[in-house]
């Protein structure tokens, strides 16, 4: 599935509804009802997320797990699915139809579910434009304003956490960002596209695209780094975890 | 127990923007549920010495076991009974919190993924009053942390921290000697005459 069905583009059509004074069909859509369109886009988005997970969680000989098995075994994918529903609830408070109330009920159950089983919590109105990876190991708290597509966020991360002051701003995570385990991003920070946060880094300032960040407190140790190798699969972190730091 | 738990509830009510009632807070807030289990366990430990409380102990320990298992399994908040926690603890988020064999003063705040405890075979840390402890903080070993100190997120404490200091980094260094953390703790309206550092400012 291409990235043309990214959720962010979908919200560009739906969010300024009140400003335009009515619902307008997305171009090329066959659906009659806007709520049917929303359900269709949501399912396509979840399918794209599952495909993304499927590519990432290759087993060692390069074989790909089946889509159903990926969906059932990825707790981060459950978290992402519940977050999409919660995001819909947060952004569409102006139109409370049957779909909104059923989504609200699913969100209430999903918050508790993701706390207990995914060990993670997400702020409701964090905009995720496209498929991203959230760690299956959990212990992730995300209060970011937006996360770009193709980003990888590993376990034990705190995004948008007050580092030493209260009520700090919310970070903006760019596209194709690799955030290692045990990272903290605090304050109103912009993490540029394709940046790499090495494990255990505590970032409190904005970093340019392609930067490599390391350490506590964080320092930029590299620039214009291409992290596509890191983002190709999860094997690199699994090796580190298996062999110890 | 009632006094300590009452102080906990007051901390949570002060941090709660929605203004919920006590019952709603207990039903909806996992940090408060964890503290309820912990305070119940400490009360049961103390009431072993009182003959009149003995009929309550079996049912009490069963209730403590169920509550603490629920909190530990569901939310990962491990407040063990070997920790001595003063009244008015506030736990901001769930997940990966482990407190054992330490002494924590009153009106502290605790972030997530914190580990406070002794080294194997050693003594645990002693933490003063009104200390703000950020996420990912690790205080392992017999260190003293003064009152009104602030542990920034991700601080790995390997030395004693003086009163009112702000420390951050790995290993933790004292960045500021006098740092006002009362607004972070939600205690801004309470008088600070007990503390000479804050009174001097």
Per-residue pLDDT of A174-187, as tens digits, reads 999 999 999 999 88
* Residues B112, A200: C-beta atoms closer than 8 Å: no
In angstroms, the separation between the Cα of residue A85 and the nearest Cα of chain B is 21
Looking at residue B91, its pLDDT comes to 92
B134, closest residue in chain A (CA to CA):
A163
Per-residue pLDDT of A7-42, as tens digits, reads 443 444 444 443 444 444 455 555 456 677 788 888
Per-residue pLDDT of B32-88, as tens digits, reads 999 999 999 999 999 999 999 999 999 999 999 999 999 999 899 999 999 999 999
In angstroms, the separation between the Cα of residue A163 and the nearest Cα of chain B is 5
Cα separation, B10 vs B102, whole angstroms:
23
Cα separation, B169 vs A74, whole angstroms:
33
Looking at residue A206, its pLDDT comes to 93
The sign of the CA dihedral B192, B195, B199, B201 is: negative
Scanning the structure block, which residue is given the tokens 């119940």? Answer: B40
Top-confidence residue, B2 or A116:
A116
* Residues B153, A202: C-beta atoms closer than 8 Å: yes
Cα separation, B117 vs B97, whole angstroms:
11
In this structure, what CATH number is given to the domain that contains residue A72?
2.160.10.10
Of the residues A216, A218, A219, A245, the best mutation for testing chain B's interface (the one with the most B CB atoms within 10 Å of its CB) is A216
* Paired sense of beta strands A120-122 and A140-142, if any: parallel
Looking at residue A44, its pLDDT comes to 87
pLDDT band at A165 (very low <50, low <70, confident <90, very high): low
Cα separation, A1 vs A25, whole angstroms:
21
Top-confidence residue, B18 or A53:
A53
Per-residue pLDDT of B106-132, as tens digits, reads 999 999 999 999 999 899 999 999 999
A139, closest residue in chain B (CA to CA):
B95
Contact B161, B116 (CB under 8 A): no
Q: Which domain holds residue A236?
A: 3-243
* Residues A121, B96: C-beta atoms closer than 8 Å: no
Q: Which of B155, B152, B101, B108 is nearest to B128 (CA)?
A: B108
The domain total for chain A is 1
pLDDT band at A161 (very low <50, low <70, confident <90, very high): confident
B166, closest residue in chain A (CA to CA):
A164
Of B93, B95, B136, the CB nearest to A184: B136
Q: Which of residues 99-158 of B touch A (CB under 8 A)?
A: 111-113, 134-136, 150, 152-154, 156
Of A116, A156, A217, the CB nearest to B74: A116
A156, closest residue in chain B (CA to CA):
B113
Looking at residue B95, its pLDDT comes to 83
* Residues B154, A161: C-beta atoms closer than 8 Å: no
Cα separation, A157 vs A169, whole angstroms:
17
Looking at residue A55, its pLDDT comes to 87
Domains and CATH numbers, chain B: 2-200 (2.160.10.10)
* Residues B94, A164: C-beta atoms closer than 8 Å: no
ipTM of the complex: 0.81
* Residues A182, B136: C-beta atoms closer than 8 Å: yes
Of the residues B90, B152, B180, the best mutation for testing chain A's interface (the one with the most A CB atoms within 10 Å of its CB) is B152
Of the residues B73, B136, B150, B187, the best mutation for testing chain A's interface (the one with the most A CB atoms within 10 Å of its CB) is B136
pLDDT band at A241 (very low <50, low <70, confident <90, very high): low
Cα separation, A124 vs A143, whole angstroms:
8
pLDDT band at A167 (very low <50, low <70, confident <90, very high): low
Query: Is there a cis peptide before residue B165, judged by omega within 30 degrees of 0?
Result: no
Contact B153, B111 (CB under 8 A): yes
């Amino acid at each position: 599935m291409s990235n043309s069905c990214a959720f962010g583009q979908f919200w560009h059509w739906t969010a300024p509804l009140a400003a335009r004074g009515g619902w307008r069909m997305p171009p090329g859509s066959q659906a009659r009802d806007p709520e049917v369109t929303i359900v269709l886009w949501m399912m396509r988005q979840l399918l794209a997320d599952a495909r993304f997970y499927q590519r990432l969680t290759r087993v060692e000989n390069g074989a790909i797990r089946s889509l159903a098995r990926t969906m059932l075994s990825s707790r981060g994918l459950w978290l992402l699915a519940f977050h999409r529903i919660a995001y819909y609830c947060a952004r569409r408070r102006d139109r409370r139809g049957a779909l909104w109330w059923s989504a609200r009920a699913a969100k209430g159950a999903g918050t508790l579910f993701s706390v207990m089983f995914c060990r993670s919590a997400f702020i409701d109105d964090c905009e995720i434009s496209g498929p991203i990876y959230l760690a299956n190991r959990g212990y992730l708290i995300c209060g970011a304003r937006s996360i770009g597509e193709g980003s990888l966020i590993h376990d034990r991360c705190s995004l948008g956490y007050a580092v030493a002051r209260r009520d700090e701003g919310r970070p903006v995570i760019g596209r194709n960002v690799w955030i290692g385990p045990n990272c903290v991003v605090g304050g109103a920070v912009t993490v540029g596209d394709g940046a790499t946060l090495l494990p255990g880094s505590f970032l409190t300032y904005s970093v340019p695209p392609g930067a490599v960040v390391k350490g506590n407190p964080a320092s930029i140790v590299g620039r214009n780094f291409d992290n596509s190798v890191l983002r190709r699969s999860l094997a690199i972190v699994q090796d580190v975890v298996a062999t110890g730091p | 127990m009632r006094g300590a738990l009452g102080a906990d509830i007051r901390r949570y009510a002060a941090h709660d923007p929605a203004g919920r009632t006590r019952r709603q807070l207990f039903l909806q807030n996992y940090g408060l549920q964890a503290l309820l289990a912990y305070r119940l366990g400490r009360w049961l430990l103390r009431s072993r010495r009182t003959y009149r409380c003995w009929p309550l102990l079996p049912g009490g320990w069963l209730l403590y076991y169920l509550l603490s298992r629920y909190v530990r399994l569901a939310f990962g908040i491990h407040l063990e009974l070997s920790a001595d926690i003063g009244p008015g603890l506030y736990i901001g988020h769930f997940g990966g919190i482990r407190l054992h064999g330490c002494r924590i003063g009153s009106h502290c705040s605790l972030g997530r993924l914190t580990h406070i405890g002794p080294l194997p075979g050693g003594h645990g840390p002693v933490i003063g009053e009104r200390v703000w402890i950020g996420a990912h903080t690790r205080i392992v070993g017999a260190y003293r942390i003064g009152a009104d100190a602030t542990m920034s997120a991700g601080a790995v404490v390997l030395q004693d921290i003086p009163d009112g200091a702000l420390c951050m980094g790995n290993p933790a260094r004292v960045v500021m000697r006098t740092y006002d953390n009362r607004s972070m703790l939600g205690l801004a309206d309470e008088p600070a005459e007990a503390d000479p550092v804050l009174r001097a400012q």
